[in-house]
Copies of this chain bind each other. A is one copy, B any other.
């Protein structure tokens, strides 16, 4: 799926910033694609963009309105349908991260058919993928993996894209989750693909490329998460990464949504190498990204230094300290 930009971010009338976190993530990483926000009366979220009407957005060159907020229950409220239909009639495509498909609403479907505009439901995919082949393809790839879900895998891949481009690498973030798809304007929410096609979809997301081009593939879940490890393994095999970075949140004691303790970083490195060798025998770990947001400065620095020491790898917090040490490691193994 390819989503045309620039975007108008639709925030609805959500009660807090958390409900608009998809929109806020897009602004963080693609401010140049976000020309404005459209809010309904009572909206408590603010992406710090100019407020625009849909007509103003179209006049400013916006091509897609992104529904970047979720209301309680994740369904599409009736009073959001009116602006979505208006956007279609004004010549914009509409993209949504809601669980419910836009096209399942009869008014929206009719408006899209009448106007010929596109509806993108990034949590769903109608794309038919071949099954994965596991054949080595040209180009270099890095995958972010995790000790758990929601530990910074998307953020780390995006921060690496920025840092590597700054050093002159040809490098592209490759999205595998819904916010990532909005940020890159392309990709597939891999957890929504039919199980048989996980690795095949990733082969499509990160296709053959120039020998010195880097795909920075957003990881999902964890090989040690009892709910989602199948997704993580299919993603690892499809991405066939040359390099991977382990993402970790050191204050977490249980894996998200279940009772299982977190695996150690060493266990994640070891199992990732072991399974990853199937489609890339040269796979190696190039660093550890630690999310230290819940630690004070002293503890953060100590935790990072201890991880680097224990594993003989560069470690950092991408937000607090940047990923230069990990890019150094990449440069050491794969000089430009």
Contacts of A133 in B (CB 8 A): 226-227, 257-259
Of B191, B237, B260, the contact of A194 (CB 8 Å cutoff): B191
- Please choose the segment from A35-43, A48-56, A64-72, A228-236 that sits at the chain B interface, where 4 or more of its residues have CB less than 8 A away: A228-236
Binary per-residue interface labels of chain A (231-246) against chain B in the complex, 1 for a CB within 8 Å, 0 otherwise: 1111101000000000
Q: Given that A229-B278, A237-B230 are known contacts, is A131 also in contact with B257, CB under 8 Å in the complex? A: yes
Query: B230 to A199, Cβ gap below 8 A?
Result: yes
Which residue of A132, A193, A195, A275 has the most chain B CB atoms within 10 A of its CB atom?
A195
Q: Which residues 196-240 of A have a CB within 8 angstroms of B?
A: 196, 198-200, 223-224, 226-235, 237
* Interface residue from B134, B233, B257, B279 paired with A230 (Cβ < 8 Å): B233
Interface status of A135 (Cβ within 8 A of chain B): yes
Partner of A279, one of B132, B192, B226, B231: B226
Cα distance A191–B200 when bound, in Å? 13
* A259-285 near B? 1/0 per residue, CB < 8 Å: 110000000000100110011000000
Once the chains bind, are A237 and B233 in contact (CB under 8 Å)?
Answer: no
Q: Please tell me if the beta carbons of A134 and B260 are within 8 angstroms of each other in the complex.
A: yes
Chain B residues, CB < 8 A from A257: 131, 133
**Which residue of B135, B199, B231 contacts A196 across the interface (Cβ within 8 Å)?**
B231
- Asked if A14 is at the interface of the complex by the 8 Å CB criterion, the answer is no
Can you tell how many copies of this chain the complex includes? 2
Residue of B nearest to A135 (CB): B259
Q: Is the CB of A195 within 8 A of B200?
A: no
Would you call B234 and A131 a contact (CB within 8 A)? no
Instruction: Give Cα A135–Cα B240 distance, bound, in whole angstroms.
Output: 31
- The residues of B that contact A233 with a CB separation of less than 8 Å are 223, 229-230, 233
Residue A112 CB within 8 A of the other chain: no
Q: CB-CB < 8 A to A230: which residues of B?
A: 195, 198-199, 230-235, 237
CB distance from A179 to the nearest CB of B (A): 16
CB–CB B278/A224 < 8 A: yes
Which of A198, A235, A257: most chain B Cβ within 10 A? A198
CA distance A271 to B194 in the complex (A): 24
Closest Cβ–Cβ distance, residue A325 to chain B (whole Å): 31
Taking Cβ atoms with an 8 Å cutoff, the residues of A that contact B are: 131-135, 190-196, 198-200, 223-224, 226-235, 237, 257-260, 271, 274-275, 278-279
* List of 10 A-B pairs having minimum Cβ-Cβ separation, nearest first: A134-B226, A230-B234, A191-B196, A131-B227, A230-B230, A198-B230, A132-B227, A233-B233, A230-B233, A195-B231
